[in-house]
Amino acid sequence: MKLWAGRTSGETDRRADDFNASIRVDAAMYRQDIAGSLAHASMLAKQGILSAAEAEQLCAGLSSILTDLDTGALSIDPGAEDIHMFVESVLTERVGEVGKKLHTARSRNDQVALDLRLYLREETQQIQKLLLELIDALREQAETNRDAIVPGYTHLQRAQPIVFAHQLLAYCMMFRRDYERLRDALRRMNVSPIGSCALAGTTYPIDREFEARALGFDGVCENSLDGVSDRDHCIELQAAYATVMMHLSRLAEELILWCSWEFRFVELDDAYTTGSSIMPQKKNPDVAELVRGKTGRVYGNLMGTLTMLKGLPLAYNKDMQEDKEAIFDSLETVRQCLAVFAPMIATMRTNKPAMYQAAGEGFINATDLADYLTKKGVPFRTAYQIVGQIVAKCMAEGCVLETLSLTEYQLFSPLFEEDLYREISLENCVNKRISYGGTGPHSIQHQMTVIDEFVQHEKNLY
């Protein structure tokens, strides 16, 4: 007979039992479930709802269950309805009738809401640590490549010269915001729903704040209906996970391009590539491709949870059991991707000569040539047109701006002088980018300092 039997016999069809059960998913939260029960038992004793002896029995029994599950001495029964019922059943077997008192002044509705918040808080903090490792790896590569000149692209067309460090630091900034999004989501989530009970609270004189503090929460849900019936913290976290994956996917796409023979900007370590079953020359960036592919999976989980919640009336509905499978899958996917991405970046080798050669083609210093005329008083639009004509001439004659003679330059404008060649050298094009946030050396140093200070500050919090 089910623990919830009473109004009904508790007997359900075996197929309905299997369909209704969530133990295969929520078993992952056994530590959180037991932690919540330990805090609940202590609160009940503090308030005189249970005796100190009863609470001691309950806590000893719960602790023994936790130890046995951790060591493997006890296995979770796959036939149990959910992790809450499993723990309560084993507890009652071990401590007797007093085990049935643990559920006083709570419901599975607020219990599962509590377990989920505890679990997501812990697991998301692990994601944050992995993000810091990735940011650190990117920052180290930026340090190594602060002098590597490479084409910057728009529309996948060569646009202007930058240093490769600038490109890598752009991703550092993106992942830093991802980290901060997760931190903000955790802050909003870190309030305790326990004490909301089924939906309306309880008639017992409980101390919700005591229980919340014991579990590391900043406060309690202010409305019991809200406490058990919303999963917006799941939505917010999944949106943040999806954004992490979007940034990983963009970087993965660039790695795939950079590894190709058409670019040859970087080479990934053999540990993060595979070969072909038929083409012996191949070195495929499979890890990066898988990360790119798994991004859609995390997007789908977000959309599935949004859709599940969109038409639910208050308060709890069984539909909400679908929240955990989606967000647990997203958590694990993001964790796996970050765990492999950071060392892949750390062991990546760059081909600076290939980068420089690519930067020397495609007229990516054309803007600097236009700026040269502008600084001599030519309106920018006029300078733009003149340089466009020069580029067209070079393309027709198979040369580049650096190799066009001064005599030919002066056919387009008498303002061109010998110093133009220094102005359009790739090194000078990079070094004179002095604006804040740009690709110039002082800006790159500042960006690396900002990232380094951020990583060190956050690591010190753990």
Could you write out the DSSP letters of every residue in 325-341? HHHHHHHHHHHHHHHHH
Amino acid symbol at 378: V
Do 346 and 141 touch, CB atoms closer than 8 A? yes
Half-sphere exposure of 445 (CA within 13 A, CB side): 5
Q: Average the pLDDT over 138-158 and give the result.
A: 96
Catalytic residue chosen out of the listed positions 155, 277, 405, 435: 155
**Closest of 263, 256, 260 to residue 354, by C-alpha:** 263
Do domains 109-207+217-351 and 359-459 share one topology? The answer is: no
Separation of alpha carbons 61 and 95, rounded Å: 6
DSSP class of residue 363?
A: -
**Rounded percentage of the chain residues whose pLDDT exceeds 90:** 90
Do 124 and 182 touch, CB atoms closer than 8 A? yes
Per the prediction, the chain carries an average pLDDT of 94
Fold of 359-459: Ribonucleotide Reductase Protein R1; domain 1 (1.10.40)
Report domain extents, the chain.
Answer: 14-104, 109-207+217-351, 359-459
Amino acid symbol at 448: M
**Closest of 443, 352, 458, 462 to residue 136, by C-alpha:** 458
Separation of alpha carbons 84 and 108, rounded Å: 7
Half-sphere exposure of 324 (CA within 13 A, CB side): 21
| Residue 419 backbone phi and psi in degrees, to 5 | -70, -5
Whether the predicted pLDDT of 449 surpasses 80: yes
- CATH assignment of 109-207+217-351, among 3.40.50.970, 3.40.50.300, 3.40.640.10, 1.20.200.10: 1.20.200.10
Q: Which of 7-16, 211-220, 229-238, 303-312 has the lowest mean pLDDT?
A: 7-16
The predicted pLDDT at position 274 comes to 83
Q: Within 10 Å of residue 395's Cβ, how many Cβ atoms?
A: 11
The predicted pLDDT at position 16 comes to 73
The predicted pLDDT at position 64 comes to 98
Q: Average the pLDDT over 194-213 and give the result.
A: 97
Residue 340, both tokens: 């492999």
* pLDDT, tens digit, 9 for 90 and up, residues 28-37: 999 999 999 9
Whether the predicted pLDDT of 6 surpasses 60: no
Q: Tell me the three-class secondary structure of 263-327, residue by residue.
A: CCCEECCHHHCECCCCCCCCCECHHHHHHHHHHHHHHHHHHHHHHHHCCCCCCCCHHHHHHHHHH
Q: Which of 46-55, 202-211, 230-239, 360-369 has the lowest mean pLDDT?
A: 360-369
Whether 229 is a known active-site residue: answer no
* pLDDT bracket for residue 279 (50, 70, 90): confident
Do 309 and 102 touch, CB atoms closer than 8 A? no
The predicted pLDDT at position 458 comes to 95
The predicted pLDDT at position 193 comes to 97
Using the structure block, give the residue that is written with the tokens 């102005």.
Answer: 423
**Rounded percentage of the chain residues whose pLDDT exceeds 70:** 96
* pTM, rounded to two decimals: 0.92
Q: How far, CA to CA in Å, does 115 sit from each of 43, 285, 287, 296?
A: 17, 39, 33, 27
Whether the predicted pLDDT of 3 surpasses 90: no
Dihedral of CA 182/183/188/192: which sign?
A: positive
**Closest of 145, 166, 171 to residue 439, by C-alpha:** 166
- CATH assignment of 14-104, among 1.10.10.60, 2.40.30.170, 1.10.275.10, 2.40.37.10: 1.10.275.10
Q: Average the pLDDT over 135-158 and give the result.
A: 96
* pLDDT bracket for residue 442 (50, 70, 90): very high
Q: Average the pLDDT over 121-138 and give the result.
A: 98
The predicted pLDDT at position 4 comes to 46
Amino acid symbol at 194: I
Whether the predicted pLDDT of 5 surpasses 70: no
The residue count for the chain: 462
The predicted pLDDT at position 430 comes to 96
Catalytic residue chosen out of the listed positions 51, 276, 442, 446: 276
Q: Average the pLDDT over 226-237 and give the result.
A: 95
Whether 40 is a known active-site residue: answer no
